[in-house]
Structure formats: structure tokens, C-alpha cells
């Protein structure tokens, strides 16, 4: 199965206590596609300016990503400049220049309107709704968002939430969106608005999956060295959706595995700036890391162990 992703393509300048990167490939749709491309065929819809360095697209093409949906507009590419302190969970935005992204009105090419999986990366919820209207209803639609839309476009956001199957959201944003202190209550409330599945990203603490009435908790892999957390959430979403599309299954066991695959991909993403770590990543390394997650979280408890 293949995945259509609609979202941002950016040039990110990022500084962390462990180094920095200037005008490096970034954006939600890029991190998603790079990660998901290890598991499924990806079709990317987005926009760049005529200043966008062609070699950056080359990386995605080498990864097999279909870039025919990337529009090149007159003007500059979306740029984000940010900084992290020792607490890598919190980004400080220094500059945001939307540039050509400010007028982004996604047009899904005819050939891409019947894909089985759709990821609506973090863009204006009205644009997310617009994308949904252009495509034949996919087998699975997943949605991401951010605090900016929760604060400013709640009505449109709730409308798109009601139309998707799966919502991927940060812990803090889930609480902000639902005004619930309990994460469990927050997730249950989001489920009641539409999506049967909610995935809550918790940064270094891992992720929670709520699949109808079942809950699964994936650990964060304790890492010696995290260089740049930018794009971790989208890398997670990419591994998660990529695995679901590859397996073409939405049952609980597959979703649990998908959360682990997503967690593995996010753990690679943060090991270097931009998408660099994914450039030389091998399937053998991915296998090894998934098995590390298993070792990290599994314990023996048989019926006879009960007190």
C-alpha cells in the first residue's frame, strides 16, 4: 500500500548544545517521508520556493519518495530557525519565515487521489479539510496538528478531527486540546470526537497508543547522545504509518508493532541534525533497534507468578 502525505517542506537552522545545522532539509512532510520510505511507497505533496537546493530533493528521490507533488513557486522556501537548551524537549523558535508556504493551498494531482493511506501533517486545519475533499476516502486517514491551531483554529480543527481515523498528537497538546489533566481522559475524549485510534507522543518518554479500548505504551529508548530532536514526531509518524501501509493491517497487534517501528525511526532521527542519520541508515540497523525496544520493555510474568 502507498501513502500520500501533505505537509511542510522547510530549510531549518537549528542549534543545540551538541552542534548546529544551517539551512538543512526539514519540514513535517520531509521528516515523515524520509522515515516512512523505509517501509512503503510515499507520495509527497508540498511547496518549495525557487531557491530550494535541488540536491536536497535528491535525498528523497534516492529513498524512492515520489516528489511529483512538490510544487515550486516563485519566491523563497519556508525557513525555520530554532534553538534547544539541555532540555531537548523544548524548542525555542528564533525566526519563522513562511515565505511560499504562507499561500500553500494543496492541489492533489489526479494520479495521487486514490492512495490507501493519507497523512495530514501539521498544516492549517482548513487545508487539511480541503485535502480530504480532493481525495477518494482512503482506508486510513491520520492527522497531526500543533498548539498554534488548537489556540487559533479550534473549530476547524475539531471538524477535521471528526473526519479522520487516527490522531497523532503531543502529550501537552492533547491536554491543551481537551482541557483534561489525565492523559487517559484526554485521549478518550479525542476518541469520542471521531478517531478510533489516538497516538500520544511523549518525547523521550515514548508513546501511548489508544486503539479502541486497548492501551499500549512504548518506551523511549534511553540514548547516550541526542543531537537534534527536530522532526522526531514526524519521523515517528512516518515509521508508524509506513509500517501499517506495508502490513496493510489496522489490527491492535500491527498497531503496537507500528508504534515500535515509529519509535525506532524517531530514535535514529534525533541522533543527528536534519535527516542526516537516515541517509545511511540500513534495514539491519532498524531490525536491531526494534529488538532493543523489545529487550527494553519485555518482562516475564506467567500465570504461576501471580501471588
Residues that bind a second copy (CB under 8 A): 17, 38-39, 86-88, 181-185, 187, 202, 204-206, 208, 214-220, 222-226, 253, 256-257, 259-260, 283, 286-287, 290-291, 294-301, 305-307
Closest C-alpha to 187, from 205, 174, 173: 174
**What does the block give as the cell for 6?**
501533505
**Beta carbon of residue 56, minimum distance to a second copy (angstroms, whole number):** 26
Cβ-based nearer residue to a second copy, 105 or 223: 223
Q: How far apart are CA 33 and CA 62, in angstroms?
A: 12
Find out whether 113 and 134 touch, Cβ atoms under 8 Å: yes
Cβ-based nearer residue to a second copy, 125 or 242: 242
**Beta carbon of residue 58, minimum distance to a second copy (angstroms, whole number):** 24
**DSSP states of 85-142 as a string?**
-S-TT-EEEEEEE-GGGGG------GGGTT-SEEEE-SS-HHHHHHHHHHS---SEEE
Cβ-based nearer residue to a second copy, 177 or 218: 218
Cβ-based nearer residue to a second copy, 38 or 117: 38
**Beta carbon of residue 37, minimum distance to a second copy (angstroms, whole number):** 13
The DSSP output letter for 179 is T
**Beta carbon of residue 187, minimum distance to a second copy (angstroms, whole number):** 8
Cβ-based nearer residue to a second copy, 38 or 101: 38
Closest C-alpha to 271, from 238, 228, 235: 228
Sheet holding 2-6, edge to edge: 66-73, 41-49, 2-6, 117-120, 140-143, 166-170, 197-201, 207-211, 214-218
Q: How far apart are CA 130 and CA 160, in angstroms?
A: 10
Tell how strand 214-218 and strand 207-211 pair up: antiparallel
**Beta carbon of residue 203, minimum distance to a second copy (angstroms, whole number):** 10
Cβ-based nearer residue to a second copy, 118 or 226: 226
Q: How far apart are CA 144 and CA 66, in angstroms?
A: 21
**Beta carbon of residue 62, minimum distance to a second copy (angstroms, whole number):** 18
End-to-end CA gap in the chain: 46
Cβ-based nearer residue to a second copy, 158 or 188: 188
Query: What is the C-alpha radius of gyration for the chain, rounded to an integer number of angstroms?
Result: 18
Cβ-based nearer residue to a second copy, 4 or 200: 200
Cβ-based nearer residue to a second copy, 245 or 290: 290
The b/e string for 269-285 (b: 16+ C-beta within 10 A; e otherwise) is bbbbbbbbbbeebeeee
**Beta carbon of residue 227, minimum distance to a second copy (angstroms, whole number):** 11
Closest C-alpha to 21, from 77, 70, 72, 79: 79
**Beta carbon of residue 124, minimum distance to a second copy (angstroms, whole number):** 29
**Beta carbon of residue 224, minimum distance to a second copy (angstroms, whole number):** 5
Phi, psi of 128, deg, nearest 5: -60, -40
Amino acid at each position: 500500500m502507498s501513502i500520500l502525505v501533505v505537509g511542510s517542506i522547510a530549510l531549518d537552522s537549528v542549534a543545540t548544545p551538541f552542534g548546529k545545522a544551517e539551512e538543512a532539509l526539514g519540514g513535517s512532510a520531509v521528516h515523515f517521508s524520509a522515515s516512512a520510505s523505509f517501509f512503503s511507497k510515499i507520495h509527497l505533496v508540498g511547496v518549495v520556493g525557487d531557491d530550494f537546493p535541488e540536491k536536497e530533493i535528491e535525498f528523497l528521490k534516492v529513498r524512492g519518495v515520489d516528489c511529483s507533488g512538490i510544487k515550486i513557486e516563485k519566491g523563497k522556501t519556508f525557513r525555520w530557525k530554532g534553538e534547544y537548551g539541555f532540555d531537548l524537549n523544548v524548542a525555542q523558535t528564533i525566526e519563522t519565515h513562511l515565505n511560499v508556504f504562507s499561500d500553500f493551498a494543496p492541489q492533489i494531482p489526479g494520479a495521487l487521489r486514490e492512495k490507501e493511506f493519507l497523512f495530514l501533517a501539521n498544516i492549517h486545519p482548513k487545508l487539511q479539510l480541503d485535502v480530504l475533499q480532493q481525495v477518494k476516502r482512503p482506508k486510513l486517514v491520520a492527522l497531526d496538528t500543533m498548539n498554534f491551531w488548537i489556540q487559533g483554529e479550534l473549530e476547524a480543527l475539531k471538524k477535521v478531527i471528526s473526519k479522520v481515523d487516527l490522531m497523532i498528537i503531543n502529550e501537552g497538546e492533547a491536554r491543551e486540546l481537551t482541557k483534561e489533566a489525565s492523559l487517559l481522559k484526554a485521549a478518550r475524549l479525542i476518541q469520542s470526537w471521531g478517531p478510533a485510534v489516538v497516538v500520544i507522543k511523549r518525547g523521550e518518554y515514548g508513546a501511548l497508543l489508544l486503539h479502541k479500548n486497548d492501551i499500549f505504551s512504548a518506551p523511549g529508548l534511553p540514548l547516550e547522545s541526542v543531537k537534534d530532536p527536530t522532526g522526531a514526531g514526524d519521523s515517528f509518524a512516518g515509521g508508524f504509518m509506513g509500517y501499517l501501509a506495508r502490513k496493510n493491517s489496522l489490527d491492535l497487534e500491527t498497531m503496537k508493532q507500528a508504534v515500535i517501528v515509529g519509535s525506532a525511526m524517531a530514535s535514529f532521527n534525533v541522533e543527528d541534525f536534519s535527516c542526516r542519520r537516515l541517509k545511511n541508515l540500513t534495514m539491519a540497523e532498524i531490525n536491531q533497534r526494534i529488538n532493543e525496544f523489545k529487550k527494553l520493555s519485555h518482562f516475564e510474568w506467567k500465570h504461576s507468578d501471580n501471588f
